[in-house]
Structure 1
Amino acid sequence: MERLMLWLDEKFSTPMAKLSEQRHLRAVRDGIVGTLPIITVGSFFLIIAFPPVPADTALALWAKAHGATILLPYRLTMYMMSLYAAWGIGHSLAKSYDLDGVSGAQLAVVAFLMTMVPRAVDGLGWALPMANLGGSGMFVAIMTSILAVEIMRFVYKSNFKISMPEQVPPSVARSFKALTPTAIVVVLMTFITFVFGFDWHGVVTKIMAPLVTTSDTLFGVLVPVGLITVFWSAGIHGASVVGSLARPIWTVLLDANAKAVADGLPLPHIAPEPFYQWFIWIGGAGSTIGLVLLMAFASKSVYSRSLGRMALAPGLFNINEPLIFGAPIVLNPILIIPFILTPIVLAIISYIAMAFHLVARPFIMAPWTLPGPIGAFVATGGDWRAIVLSVVCILIAMIIYYPFFKIYDNKQLALEKEDH
């Protein structure tokens, strides 16, 4: 175990930390994370349109009568998440190259919109296929945003741009400077999409379909769960590394579930991001709420009890860095085992419960700082069974952590006695 910890520290931590800061992955992560407030607020209108109350109540009847209007904020926010993500990705990537963030964001949006073919609609003029603006267009948004900013970087680096005298206001000079890369992006996308007829969304969807499908299987859930906890065990922010790659897929799954609710259809997916947040990462990565409760209320060691009580309040709101680095869990051969094992067990139990429709599947992006059972209730649109599952998961986490907690607590107690 000591050799394993040494290998994790020396051979694993450094390259993974570098990977998490790779500029393109960081731009994707920043762009998608930046859409979370929009997704969160927009998804709450689904609860208003489909309140978790009996169908014959006044509230349910009112929501049914006004459903189309209630859903408009959802359709202009969460339903268009890829458009907002393109802006964020372009801005973040441009800033990483010390380029103008606004120009990069605008180019990214232009490139993404030019993957769509407007259709003439009688009486309405021209319309864009809005479905491609949502989660289903996320992979295309990532590709075209990176392409647009890389074209801008190449143009600026080669000095193939229009420069204005110093007397010209910065905002005007910036506009002229962006003319050349904008022209290249627009002309290039025009040829690819409209002249050659390349179906960006159809092709990318077919390529990514196996990955999206696999991500919604039990195996596809256990892989990121295992990787995130292993990364954290080595002191790396696991969600930053894995989330950069997995979050685009999670948003596709969440968008599909939200669309199904809006259309009155069964929810197709189990494992969008709220599934991990509310049924696996209860209390934070490693499902450490179980360990926090044990340390706070069952410790004999003064240090363990003090740390547990200090970490209890943050842990209830899914912040567990005080515990991860205070115990520590990082590179700790005793606590790493349950830290990795507990989320895997909770993932299996929760996945089976939703696969057999014992608990509703999540379709709401609830604020991640809500206490676990409350967040689970909100994320599933008000399913009381989600609260029960969350509480069961907390109890299971305590059971798994208990024997390792006792070893840790006894070791701390022995050290305290030696000091006295």
Structure 2
Amino acid sequence: MNVITAWMEKYFVPLAAKIGGQKHLVALRDAFIGTLPATMAGAIAVMLNAIVRDMPAKFIQGYDGSTIPVIKQIIAVNGFMWSGTLAVVGIIFAFSWGYNLARAYQVNELAGGIVSLAALLQGVGFSFSTSAAMKLPAAAAKIINAGSADTGISYADGALNVGGWGWLKLGQLDGNAYFVIMVVGGLATIIYAKLMIRDITIKMPDSVPPAVAKAFTAIIPAAVALYATAIMYYIFSLTLGKNGDVLISWVQKTIADPFLHIGQSLGAIILVTFLVSLMWLFGLHGSNVMAPVLEGIWGVGLLKNTNVYDRSGMAGVKEAIKAGNGDAYMWVRGSFDSYAWFGGVGGTITLLIVILVFSKRADYRMVAKLGIAPSVFNINEPVMFGLPIVLNPIFFIPFILSPIVGVTIGWLATAANLVDPVVVATPWVIPPFLYSLMSTGYDWRAPIVTLVSFIAAIAIWTPFVLAANATKEVD
């Protein structure tokens, strides 16, 4: 074990630390964190609708919250909350990404956010058209054609034609936009930042107010950056987009969806779980280092599940998962926390329980008593660095194995339809069991699956805690 630890400290830790400190990845992590006020507000709205609209329907036959006074108003208000948050989370993320990336380059953050947002909107489809063959009476055709200038609907040669311009498709402004934003928004912001750093700007007299001067200074870098992305969108429209696809929909179908589907495999889930634990063991915040992967793949999946759940309920989510059309996914970001990372990464609350029951070491018991309360709310830093678990060879194996077993149990239960998939972004400080209950739209079976993982984690940790009793003279 000492040989492995020494090798990891020499080769793995410096590499992981370098990756974790890479400014673009740090900015991306902070961009995801920056969307939390909106995504959590939207998640609370969906959660409240789950309580008043969906949960009673599971126990009361014929229950319809949309017909009950007060309840239907609550549902309607939560609908507006969803419309301004999760429905357009791509816009929110675009600004957050540009803002944090500009801050990483130490240039005007506000302008960086605006550039990234503008780069997203450049590629959104503002028009649509479709046609359906049908026969209509002459009187009906005349009425339709008379209003075509306003409606965009016309009838000719046995076909009903529908078209419009000046609209925004929510499917290109929600989580579907994340992958395009990361690339296009990042490219635009980096071009802007590089030009700012090289001082290719409009110089204003000292008498001009600072706010005005900063805005004018950003004009040339922002214009060049946005022209670069506009040209890229134009070239795409002439090549890969000839069939009518916009870049966002094309990237979603050809790049994002395959990544999301790979993320549904148990092997990919176990690999990421392993890496997060491994980084923590060497004092690195594994969840933060892996945030671009966790949020970029499974976080997007959670946003998709939430949107489908808000529109069509759990039945709609399951139908979308079964269809495999990329609208919903079985395993998403909240699934890790529901079934493996209770009490923090490593399932550390189970370690504390085992210590309090079996440990004879006074130092361990003292840390466990102090750490149990924070661990209930999934805060495990006092245990990680106080016990410590970090660089503790005795706890290497259980700290890695416990969450791997947890995600395996959760994945198998969800795949077998023994429990509903996670559909609600739940605040990470919610205690275990309640977390899985809320995140699955109040599926009562979810806490039972969590309990199975919980018991398995206790069984894994117990022999190692007993072994630790012999590593130091018992007080």
Same fold (TM over 0.5): yes
Quote the offset at 1:245 in angstroms. 2.5
The residue number in structure 2 matching 1:211 is 259
Unaligned 5+ segments in structure 1 are none
The residue number in structure 2 matching 1:171 is 211
Aligned-partner SS, 2:166: strand
In the alignment, residue 249 of structure 2 is paired with which amino acid?
Answer: G
State yes or no: 1:6 paired with 2:9.
no
- CA separation in 2, counterparts of 1:390 and 1:176? 55
The residue number in structure 2 matching 1:93 is 101
The residue number in structure 2 matching 1:187 is 227
In the alignment, residue 344 of structure 2 is paired with which amino acid?
Answer: G
The residue number in structure 2 matching 1:127 is 167
Aligned-partner SS, 1:330: coil
Moved more, 30-39 or 42-51: 42-51
In the alignment, residue 257 of structure 1 is paired with which amino acid?
Answer: N
The residue number in structure 2 matching 1:319 is 379
Q: Structure 1 residues 344 and 196 mapped into 2: Cα distance closer, same or farther (>3 Å)?
A: closer
State yes or no: 1:400 paired with 2:448.
no
Question: C-alpha deviations, 1:298-353, integer Å up to 9, x for none?
Answer: 32221111111111001111111111112221222211100000111111111011
- CA separation in 1, counterparts of 2:78 and 2:286? 37
The residue number in structure 2 matching 1:221 is 269
In the alignment, residue 204 of structure 1 is paired with which amino acid?
Answer: V
The residue number in structure 2 matching 1:374 is 434
Work out which of the residue numbers 86, 89, 94 in structure 2 matches 1:78: 86
The residue number in structure 2 matching 1:114 is 122
Quote the offset at 1:289 in angstroms. 1.4
State yes or no: 1:355 paired with 2:358.
no
- CA separation in 2, counterparts of 1:110 and 1:232? 38
- CA separation in 1, counterparts of 2:165 and 2:122? 18
The residue number in structure 2 matching 1:147 is 187
The root-mean-square deviation of aligned C-alpha atoms, in Å, is: 2.1
Aligned-partner SS, 1:211: helix
State yes or no: 1:273 paired with 2:322.
no
- CA separation in 2, counterparts of 1:398 and 1:238? 22
- CA separation in 2, counterparts of 1:4 and 1:350? 30
The residue number in structure 2 matching 1:247 is 295
Contact 2:27 2:100 in 1 (8 A): yes
- CA separation in 2, counterparts of 1:46 and 1:166? 50
The residue number in structure 2 matching 1:257 is 305
- CA separation in 1, counterparts of 2:47 and 2:372? 30
Contact 1:53 1:60 in 2 (8 A): no
Q: Structure 1 residues 356 and 60 mapped into 2: Cα distance closer, same or farther (>3 Å)?
A: farther
Quote the offset at 1:195 in angstroms. 6.6
- CA separation in 1, counterparts of 2:293 and 2:388? 27
- CA separation in 2, counterparts of 1:170 and 1:341? 56
Quote the offset at 1:23 in angstroms. 1.0
Moved more, 115-124 or 272-281: 115-124
- CA separation in 2, counterparts of 1:278 and 1:45? 20
State yes or no: 1:235 paired with 2:235.
no
State yes or no: 1:51 paired with 2:51.
no
Work out which of the residue numbers 239, 249, 254 in structure 2 matches 1:202: 249
Q: Structure 1 residues 195 and 143 mapped into 2: Cα distance closer, same or farther (>3 Å)?
A: closer
- CA separation in 1, counterparts of 2:294 and 2:300? 10
In the alignment, residue 395 of structure 2 is paired with which amino acid?
Answer: L
Contact 1:366 1:378 in 2 (8 A): yes
The residue number in structure 2 matching 1:30 is 30
- CA separation in 2, counterparts of 1:302 and 1:163? 67
In the alignment, residue 209 of structure 2 is paired with which amino acid?
Answer: P
State yes or no: 1:331 paired with 2:391.
yes
Calculate the TM-score normalised by the size of structure 1. 0.93
- CA separation in 1, counterparts of 2:226 and 2:5? 51
Aligned-partner SS, 1:384: coil
User: What is the aligned-residue identity percentage?
Assistant: 28
Aligned pairs, how many?
Answer: 415
Contact 2:42 2:81 in 1 (8 A): yes
Quote the offset at 1:217 in angstroms. 1.7
Contact 2:184 2:229 in 1 (8 A): no
Aligned-partner SS, 1:306: helix
Question: C-alpha deviations, 1:187-235, integer Å up to 9, x for none?
Answer: 3333333575153213322123221101012112111101111111122
The residue number in structure 1 matching 2:111 is 103
The residue number in structure 1 matching 2:344 is 284
In the alignment, residue 100 of structure 1 is paired with which amino acid?
Answer: N
The residue number in structure 1 matching 2:136 is none
- CA separation in 2, counterparts of 1:89 and 1:405? 43
The within-5 A match list for 1:305-316 is: 305-316=365-376
State yes or no: 1:159 paired with 2:206.
no
Moved more, 77-86 or 38-47: 38-47
